Amino acid sequence: MYYSAMGNTTHPLLVVGVGIGVPDIPDQAAGGVENATVLAAGKRILAAFAGHPAEKIPLRAPLAPILDTLAERRATGGRVAVLADGDPLFFGIGRALLSRFAPGTLRFVPNVTAVAAMAARLARPWQDIPAVSLHGRSDHTTLYQALMRVGQAAVYTDAVNTPSVLARAVLHRGGDAFALHVFENLGLADENHTTLTLPVAANLPDDAFSPLNLVFLERVRPPETPLTLGLSDAALSRDDTVFTKLPARAVALALLGVRVGDVVWDLGAGTGSVALEASMLCPEGHVFAVEKHPGRFEHLRRNIQKTGALTVTPILAALPDALESLPDPDRIFIGGGLSQNPDILNAAAKRLKPNGRMVVAATLLATLERARAFFAAHSWKNQTTHIQTTSETPLGRYHRLSPDNPVFLVCGELTSSRSMSTNFDGNSPG
């Protein structure tokens, strides 16, 4: 809902960035703030304007009723100024204001952000530093996406996502190839910059730093194994031959058609070979790799750390129970487990988004038949691809070609809404 100007008494709503540290009003906004009859800001900023005669309105959650109040004050002729840390249009209140007020009724005045100040302290160009806000968030996916994409990220923290919590999360997912910088109280007299390794930072208490802090994470060592499409089988951490090998992996990913922002499930992930490469194809998405065998799961975790495929979430659990807590997928790869538990196929299909795709890898004829019958019974568009490759192997002083185990890839596509025509009770419709 937009509020618009009401007669000549309605003044633009002034939104001012006060920079970092002690509030600093830009010259072009000084008159508007001085003449404001209403000041809205966080408690820390309002405290700096205690002597200002305007009505003070603290900004806090829930924000909607506060915006109602600002609209009422403005509609009755009040001169309303909103003051925000840094730049209000950079991870600030600007987005909320724009969703509520017509853009033409707002006047924004920018200022220095904490990220810009951090980059200045580090003497780094900051146009290539992704900024991530974890305020009120329990999911660190956006941080992993940034670190995977460019190897660095500036992170706005909160009382839950503290520097030590972030260190533990990245250490667990990506290993110790990152350094962590903590910038406390930027712009204030007690400003402090600390650089730590992840293991050291992870062992610190959650309250080791000032609540007013910004974290900068950066990769200090390249991945042990560069993440590419067509990863060498030999590059993977594994102790058996039960995994999706390069030729089948390449075709499976082509059939899946993973897109930039997709959520991907790799079920029966083994050492994670499909999940790793899928993460390259959906840099703005999320890959969940589920494996129940503890030994293979440890190889999966190791391969994520080796390649830096941080957007792959490894899950040690049995199927199909593990699927309940996962977000609905756009793409599903089933690399194993159907021969022991046919219910996996039905449970996964229930969750696939409309227009999603599922690829089943089958080395057993029973698995091939089950997958084909399932897709046919539920009227999914489907196709089967047979892969038979041979590999060069030594034979004395010479080499010969040895056949690899044949693999069938059954690709099913859900081309319409589940609620329209799909019955997932395990039986054929009708």
pLDDT tens across 118-146, in order? 999 999 999 999 999 999 899 999 999 99
Mean pLDDT of the chain: 92
Q: Among residues 178, 297, 286, 174, which one has the least CA distance to residue 237?
A: 297
Q: Which fold has domain 233-421?
A: Rossmann fold (3.40.50)
Q: What is the pLDDT of residue 425?
A: 52
Q: How far apart are CA 59 and CA 308, in angstroms?
A: 39
Q: Quick check: do 13-112 and 233-421 share a fold?
A: no
Asked if the model's pLDDT at residue 420 lies above 50, the reply is no
Class of the CATH-defined domain 115-219: alpha beta
Q: How far apart are CA 148 and CA 223, in angstroms?
A: 10
pLDDT class of 9 with cuts at 50, 70, 90 = low
Q: What is the pLDDT of residue 339?
A: 83
pLDDT class of 238 with cuts at 50, 70, 90 = confident
Backbone angles phi, psi at 75, to 5 degrees: -65, -25
pTM comes to 0.88
Per-residue pLDDT of 143-159, as tens digits, reads 999 999 999 999 999 99
pLDDT class of 417 with cuts at 50, 70, 90 = low
pLDDT class of 280 with cuts at 50, 70, 90 = very high
Structure tokens at 363: 């080395």
> What are the structural domain ranges in the chain?
13-112, 115-219, 233-421
* CATH of region 13-112, choose from 3.40.50.1100, 3.40.1010.10, 3.40.1210.10, 3.20.20.140: 3.40.1010.10
